[in-house]
A and B are shown apart, each in its own frame.
Chain A
Amino acid sequence: MHTTLNLILQVAVIISVARLVGLVFRMFHQPQVIGEMAAGILLGPSFLGWLAPDWQAVLFPPDRLGYLHSLSQLGVLLFMFLVGLELEPKHLVGRGRTALVTSAASIVVPFVLGSLLALALFHSFAPAGARLLSFTLFMGAAMSVTAFPVLARILSERGLTRTKMGSLAIACAAVADVAAWCILAAVVTLARAEGDPSHFGAIVGGTAFYLVCMLTIVRRLARRIEVFYRNRGRVITQDLLAFVLLLFLTSAWITEWLGIHALFGAFLLGAVLPKDPGFVRALRDKLEDLTVVFLLPLFFADAGLRTHLGLLSGAGTWLAFALIMIVAVGGKLGGTALGARRMGLSWRESTAIGVLMNTRGLMELVILTIGLELGILSPALFAMMILMALTTTVMTTPVLERVYPAELIRREVVGGPEVDGYSILIPVSLPSAGPDLVHLAATLARGSSGGQIYALHLARASEQSFFDASVTPAGRASLAPLEPLLRAATNDAVEVQPLAFVSREPGADITAVAHAKGARLILMGWHKPVLSQSILGGTVNQVMREARCDVAVYVRRRFEPVRRVLVPYRGVHDRGALDLARRMAKGAAAPSAAGQQSFAWTSPHVTILHFVMPGDRPVRERERAGLRSAATAFESEGIELKVIETASPLDEAVAEARRGYDLVVVGVSEDWGLEPNLFSSRHERFAAECPASLLIVRRYERGEATTESIERSGTREVHERGSKVAPTRVA
């Protein structure tokens, strides 16, 4: 096959397998990058070469791997440049003695243990001709490294960036990374100098001169770049991008020429570039996708092609691997945890930081590849260390879940209930739905005192950038989707507390936040999903099933102000709808905080349509008697009660809704064809036929008798608080 054709085929196969395996890993709550690393190994001699050696020989002939290797090196250079670019100096300093001691322990303990391990492995596993000094320092550095980007990603995905533990882990990882790279630079220098003092001196001298230039001339140049960027309307033009890339290539070339690796030049240039958040984000946006999606999988494949897991045979080898794992986990996890504990953190927090710092991932792979290239690692040791890197990274999420469960994180991020009253949680996924929801929530909450409205945006984990740790104060970037809602709330003088974090399971997180905040109602918007027609499917369905409070889903159909509200009432399932409608009427009558009602929900007229089945005379007579007293109670609240005797309440409700109602508040029940049953043919008929906007309500029963009727409901205050709760079956 022609070289170009071969290269295109190689790249296509690598990217396909990387995405596929990455997807599988994501399904198991692992970062995509770990899947891509595993994909590299799958394409190498350890799996494809063993399963289909002929295919592997055609796809990756040894004499045609040069171009792939070059592309992969470019990818890892760009990656290191981005890592340097994301390095925040504020992460390295100013976090106090706790960060200093913890980060030092997270480097020193694994480094010393790694050096001891090197002593044990040197004779049996060091490559021929290796020098003990280089080997020892290299093993120490390899044990000390933390994958800053992967750690940032895990913190971000678990919503830990805003916790004390998360910010401490970020600080420690940043320090550990810089320290590990400094040690590695020394190791590379020693290895390349090959014991020649004059050569060593030349490398050290050249590197010192280069560092001085970077910290003076290039840093000044970087400030000019920042000024240029600001003057050009905060846009990175193609010329500016080309200039930055030229600087990047020059820096990488110089460090490679000096004898320390090209990666250091790439990393250092990224580190000295301006840290203006807009500049960093814009530059990252231009380079990240190409690097992460296209070039990094090539690096993983290149490393995988050099990983021979088949070399790991024999009891001695596996014993060595077990030793490596013990030192890696014990040194990094144990050292960090002890350091953090010494500084007064709880055992749980200390262990969690240790678990996080034990994430080695991609950075370890980069270091190991350098070790293999320099002849410091033998192929078997390289394979063992790769396995260790994968294992320590894969174990992070599940171990962290056990040590520091999501419930604790939520409690720390979200906090506990702050008010005792009718609180409403508004999860917002579509920013444009926010204003309507806050208007409705304000109307519902107005009649009660002491409540709080919470607006929650949960960013999906996959929306996050590879490097984005969202460590900006209070995660401001993630509050952006709430801005329309917050603007509307400000205009209407409604107090709203915004909450935002990254979520892997939005449904579970919404219910957990509602519980943590003591919300009595979750008010959700609805927008047409891409793949499903169902209103009560997906996240809405999960929230309805699991929430330990009332849930209302607002389906907007009409854009006029809401003046007429209809509540079709058939039975106990509609009591939630009835309660909300009464709140609406009550809230509309009450004055707003600003002294006037400035939004659409001014003074809706509420009509309750109570259906009575014909034929069941004794029941009907009993209901009629009760209804008379209920009607009086409703009348005093300005609510109209209509009683209709019919065998087909759904048709009657639809017919009534067509008579000029703006909003229909309806319970989740079989009577309205709204029970969220995935395979029901009658599913959501009311929603399909009703022309008005809908508020679909699922009431959460708090251990009350579910047979309570409208007659009693009419004279009872809604939502007794504090009684024992039990979930209601929705479907």
Chain B
Amino acid sequence: MDNTSDTAPGPARPHAMARTVLLYLGLVGIPALGVAAILRAGHSITPPISVGGRWAIETDAASAAAVPDLASAADGSAPTLVIVQSGVRLAMNLGESGLATSTARLDGNRLTAALAKGGTAQLALDGTVTKASGSPRLTGELRRLDCSSCPGVDFSAERVAGPHG
């Protein structure tokens, strides 16, 4: 009787076992090396800094007068800027003013944005995020886009709540 079937005992088994082990090593080991290579290639890539959360904008009477949206955003207290961050992409809302992001971008620690109401861009924000000690601060300039002759107003804001509340 022919004994060379699939169930044949003896020397066939170690070969099959070795093939399976090699196959497994190939299927797991090579991809693992691939992932290691990917991680090595990306070791210099850094994630963006954190700007998500709620920022309290510190204003004075002069700046509030120059940028009416700041006054309307204040609602009796310091106007707040809420930022939802997804990497370098930002979604922003300025307090109760109804101004929301038209375009916004985070480049390193520089934050630039145009805030719009009803589809019309009204306010430009250009700031820099710094973190010395304590909460991060955003300092820069707010400028009305609907008034080319109006001067920009310097502002400073402190993050009062992080992205998770």
Contact = CB atoms under 8 A, between A and B. Distances in A.
A130 B48 CA distance: 9
Interface string B68-90: 00000000000000001111110
Interface string A109-127: 0011001101101111111
Interface in A14-62: none
B63 interface: no
A87 interface: no
A104 B27 CA distance: 7
Nearest to A108: B31
A572 interface: no
A399 interface: no
B117 to A, nearest CB: 16
B86 A125 contact: yes
B122 interface: no
Nearest to B33: A112
B38 interface: yes
Interface stretch (A310-318, A405-413, A611-619): A310-318
Give the size category of B's interface with A.
Answer: 20 to 34
B7 interface: no
B86 A381 contact: yes
B50 interface: yes
A140 B36 CA distance: 13
B161 interface: no
Nearest to B19: A97
Nearest to B53: A128
A380 B34 CA distance: 27
A100 B23 contact: yes
A119 B43 CA distance: 10
A314 B48 contact: no
Contact of B47 (A104, A128, A308): A128
A650 B20 CA distance: 76
Interface in A360-406: 378-381
B90 to A, nearest CB: 10
B45 A380 contact: no
Interface residues of A, number: 39
A85 to B, nearest CB: 28
A136 interface: yes
Interface of A is mostly: helix
A674 interface: no
B13 to A, nearest CB: 14
A137 B32 CA distance: 11
A112 B89 contact: no
A116 B27 contact: no
B91 interface: yes
Given A140-B35, A379-B84, A123 B47 contact: yes
Contact of B86 (A97, A123, A127, A131): A127
Q: Which of B45, B46, B89 has the largest count of A CB atoms less than 10 A from its CB?
A: B89
B132 interface: no
B50 A119 contact: no
B38 A378 contact: no
B35 A111 contact: yes
A105 B31 CA distance: 10
Interface string B28-59: 10010011001101110111111110000000
B89 A317 contact: yes
A112 B88 CA distance: 25
B48 A126 contact: yes
A101 interface: yes
Contacts of B50: 127-129
A199 B15 CA distance: 43
B87 A127 contact: yes
Nearest to A380: B86
A133 interface: yes
Contact of B48 (A118, A128, A132, A308): A128
Given A123-B88, A128-B51, A129-B47, A136 B42 contact: yes
A115 B38 contact: yes
Q: Which of B34, B42, B49, B86 has the largest count of A CB atoms less than 10 A from its CB?
A: B86
A379 B52 CA distance: 11
A488 to B, nearest CB: 42
Given A122-B45, A123-B47, A128-B51, A133 B39 contact: yes
Given A127-B85, A136-B39, A108 B48 contact: no
A649 to B, nearest CB: 69
A18 B46 CA distance: 40
Contact of A100 (B20, B52, B163): B20
Given A126-B48, A129-B47, A132-B42, A310 B87 contact: no
Contacts of B88: 123-125
B27 A122 contact: no
B31 A378 contact: no
Nearest to A135: B47
Contacts of A119: 38, 41-42, 45
Given A100-B20, A136-B38, A310 B31 contact: no
Interface string B142-162: 000000000000000000000
Contact of A122 (B20, B42, B86): B42
A111 B34 CA distance: 10
A108 B89 contact: no
Nearest to A116: B38
A380 B46 contact: no
A132 B88 CA distance: 15
Contact of B91 (A104, A124, A310): A310
A330 to B, nearest CB: 16
Given A97-B20, A129-B50, A124 B31 contact: no
Given A123-B88, A380-B86, A111 B31 contact: yes
Contacts of A97: 20, 23
Interface string A632-661: 000000000000000000000000000000
B35 A115 contact: yes
Q: Which of A123, A125, A128, A379 has the largest count of B CB atoms less than 10 A from its CB?
A: A128
B35 A126 contact: no
Contact of A311 (B41, B45, B86): B86
A606 to B, nearest CB: 58
9 contacts: A104-B24, A105-B27, A108-B27, A121-B87, A125-B88, A128-B47, A128-B52, A132-B43, A137-B35
Closest 8 A/B residue pairs (Cβ): A380-B86, A128-B50, A378-B86, A125-B87, A104-B27, A108-B31, A126-B47, A119-B42
Interface of B: 20, 23-24, 27-28, 31, 34-35, 38-39, 41-43, 45-52, 84-89, 91, 163
Given A101-B27, A104-B28, A108-B28, 5 more contacts: A108-B27, A112-B35, A126-B48, A132-B42, A311-B84
